[in-house]
Structure 1
Amino acid sequence: MIDLRHLPLVPLLLVLLLNGCSSYYGQLAEGQWQLLSQRRPIARLVADPATPPELRRRLQLSSAARDFASAQLALPQNDSYRSFVDLQRPYVVWNVFATDEFSVAAREHCFPIAGCVAYRGYFDQGRARGAAALLAEQGLDTWVAGVEAYSTLGWFDDPLLSSMLRRDDARLVAVIIHELAHQRFYLPGDTAFNESYASFVEQEGLRQWYTMRNETPPTSDDAHRRAFIEQVLASRTRLEQLYAGDLSPEQMRKEKTAEFERLRRDYRSLRDSHWPGDTRYDAWFSAPLNNARLLPFGLYDQWVPAFARLFEAHDRDWEAFHHAVENLGELPAARRLEALERLGTAKRG
């Protein structure tokens, strides 16, 4: 399924100060404060004989990854991910996505500092579901997605969360690198840019991590993941074309339903003919499909090839690469898009 473990969260306490204590911002500030107040230093937990051995091992791994990210990838050197919080729940926040009934564009929400994003985050699952239900009553397509990690973009020292330990060792290292990349640079209002940049840093950083340790990286499932995402993006394109037409609402609803059934059939055909025994995406298709569930796809990968070429163009020097990314971020949106497209189609040297 699409990976939502590291969508950036608005710097919550600052938002509260700027917007007043509304119920939405109030729950954000309360949730953030609870995280900050529950932090326990990782070094102290590792030294504590009462810490379970497997937890100690993973905390030590996270500390090594944290040091590597700053020393080798030119990512921020601060106290983020040097403390730990046991959430006692599977996710840290739940994000609510919404679209109009006949649209694949997100209903965006704009915040100070972080800019506009395609979701609203809630620390309480019940609140998230309640918000989604209210939007659905207005005729919108909605989706509630649990998130295992997020970044406050360097405004606070983000803790390592128990939800981040649900993944294997490779994903734990990857998410720490990804989140620190968001702290190194974040462009308000351009989710595809931010996520593609952090995803490239994550992927290349993880490769260098295993090289440094003389270890063989785990077998990648990228080919299956790419094929799955390509199917979903193709369906989204067809829906976009459908919604741009002049059909009656009744006919458009019928065609919309048919498109989601086509997507399910295409997936089953691909799985059965090319992926024997690989059923990891079955759960995603077993849930109801709507426009909102398609929103995150493509955000993490769209500009990864462009950033890979930018890295090569700067002789694989991380500091020079990050500065080049910052320069791209200073361009007007149209010129930035042109630059990314040129990089994305350029041949590797």
Structure 2
Amino acid sequence: MASVTTRGRAAWGALVLAGALAGCADLRYYAQSIGGHSSLLQAARPVEQVLADPSISPDLRQRLRYAQDARSFASQALGLPDNRSYTEYADVKRPYVVWNVFATPELSLRLKQSCFPVVGCIDYRGYYSEADARRMAGELKAQGWDVHVGGVPAYSTLGWYPDPFVNTFIRLPPAEVARLVFHELTHQAVYAKNDTTFNESLATAVEQIGVERWLREPRNQSLRPAYEAFDARRRDFVALLLETRRQLAQAYGETGARQGPAPTTPDPVGLGPDEIERRRARKAEIIADLRSRYERMKRERWNGYAGYDAWFAQALNNAQFAAMGAYHQWVPALRAMARRCESCRDGSLTPFLDEARELARLPYAERRRRLQAETDRVQAAGLSSAP
């Protein structure tokens, strides 16, 4: 505990110094980050202590038991880090632990980046206050950016601190809790600086493999039917959005290697007025078609299930589709790598994670080249992200 705390203070000290050098606005951002995470740590109690509390509800007790089981499975069966993460529980008294703000130019899927000491550049900014997140989103929108604010139930401190179970996700279905635990622990196992898409795609690939295996355990098989129905709809939803993202990328000329660097301005570069209007019209057409396809999918595949209606009720823009891409772009390629790992088939994912670490050490362009080549092989073979 003492060594982690000392290490953490050093990291946050570096953030404060960087904020002071960067200016008042950044200093305010770092201050809310430090204060928000500190409040999370202060709210955390050992799970065994919570379970021993006679005042907690039977439902929370059962959910914590499932969560503990998933945590043990993560390390013992999957080869994910075995440390103090997810040995505590925190109730932060709000629906999400943080809210992430994503931004893209009006006619691009390239996400605006924020760069920090320790973690490098990431494709969003996280806020512990929804009001702060929406205030930043309003400022970016006023500058001309497409903006999306998304509530986040869990995040990883990359091993700097022991991450707790939080009320923001503990009451999700048990397999969803397991999925989040596997996802966040993957960030502790493998992390590439300045590459959000690789980091999130890897964590998504591992969470999918992990949940599939966890649900095969005899003690968890009763959870499978409900989760598989839920997950099938989610995969349909993700596929729908990724196809829309592909269409938009094509409309913007940002397919493959032409995606380009992170933008520093929301303004179109090198486009004449006629081309700007043409792309705006095509963007509106693609998004309108997405809404129609969603309604058709609800009728034809989901028997009227309306669980995603709230998502479609909001104004849609590039930021939502770019964020979705960050979490899923390389999943088929990474799952194909895991399939080739013979010792990973039903055992630990350690050899696959070692291969992922090798990818993380590569320069960004080379890592992207290899992942794109793997993606092309997957598509040529007619495979998917499924096992």
Q: Is the pair's TM-score, using the shorter chain for normalization, greater than 0.5?
A: yes
The answer on 1:231 being equivalent to 2:240 is yes
Shift of 1:12: 5.6
CA distance in 2, matches of 1:132, 1:26: 18
Partner amino acid for 2:349? W
What TM-score does the superposition give when structure 2 sets the normalisation length? 0.80
| Residue aligned with 2:326, SS | coil
User: Tell me, which stretches of 5 or more residues in structure 2 are unaligned?
Assistant: 1-10, 254-270
Deviations along 1:212-263, one digit per CA (max 9) or x if unpaired, are: 3354223244554344333323333333444456425455444433332222
Shift of 1:106: 1.2
| Residue aligned with 1:121, SS | strand
My pick for the range that moved more, 77-86 or 12-21, is 12-21
CA distance in 2, matches of 1:239, 1:114: 30
CA distance in 2, matches of 1:306, 1:142: 28
Deviations along 1:241-297, one digit per CA (max 9) or x if unpaired, are: 444564254554444333322221222233323332222222211111112222222
Q: CA separation of 1:133/1:195 partners in 2, compared to 1, >3 Å: closer, same or farther? A: same
Name 2:33's counterpart in structure 1.
28
Q: CA separation of 1:184/1:335 partners in 2, compared to 1, >3 Å: closer, same or farther? A: same
Residues 103 and 240 in structure 1, CA contact (< 8 A), matched pair in contact too: yes
Name 2:354's counterpart in structure 1.
323
What TM-score does the superposition give when structure 1 sets the normalisation length? 0.88
My pick for the range that moved more, 253-262 or 46-55, is 253-262
Name 1:338's counterpart in structure 2.
369
Of 130, 139, 146, 1:141 maps to 146
The answer on 1:273 being equivalent to 2:278 is no
CA distance in 2, matches of 1:67, 1:95: 29
Q: CA separation of 1:256/1:205 partners in 2, compared to 1, >3 Å: closer, same or farther? A: closer
Structure number with the higher helix fraction is: 2
Name 1:3's counterpart in structure 2.
none
Deviations along 1:63-109, one digit per CA (max 9) or x if unpaired, are: 22212211121111111111111111100111111122222221111
Deviations along 1:123-164, one digit per CA (max 9) or x if unpaired, are: 111111111111111122111111111001110111111001
| Residue aligned with 1:142, SS | strand
User: Tell me, which stretches of 5 or more residues in structure 1 are unaligned?
Assistant: 1-10
Residues 13 and 32 in structure 1, CA contact (< 8 A), matched pair in contact too: no
Partner amino acid for 1:234? E
| Residue aligned with 2:100, SS | strand
CA distance in 2, matches of 1:97, 1:337: 22
Deviations along 1:10-60, one digit per CA (max 9) or x if unpaired, are: x76652344337111111111011111121111111112222211111112
Name 1:38's counterpart in structure 2.
43
CA distance in 1, matches of 2:368, 2:322: 20
Superposed, 1:122-271 pairs within 5 Å as 122-216=127-221, 217=224, 218-243=227-252, 246=272, 247=274, 249-250=276-277, 252-271=279-298
Name 1:15's counterpart in structure 2.
15
Number of residues of Structure 1 aligned to a counterpart in Structure 2: 339
| Residue aligned with 1:105, SS | coil
| Residue aligned with 2:354, SS | helix
CA distance in 2, matches of 1:241, 1:139: 22
CA distance in 2, matches of 1:330, 1:126: 37
Shift of 1:341: 3.7
Name 1:7's counterpart in structure 2.
none
Partner amino acid for 1:279? A
Aligned CA-pair RMSD = 2.4
CA distance in 2, matches of 1:116, 1:297: 18
Q: CA separation of 1:222/1:158 partners in 2, compared to 1, >3 Å: closer, same or farther? A: closer
Partner amino acid for 1:124? S
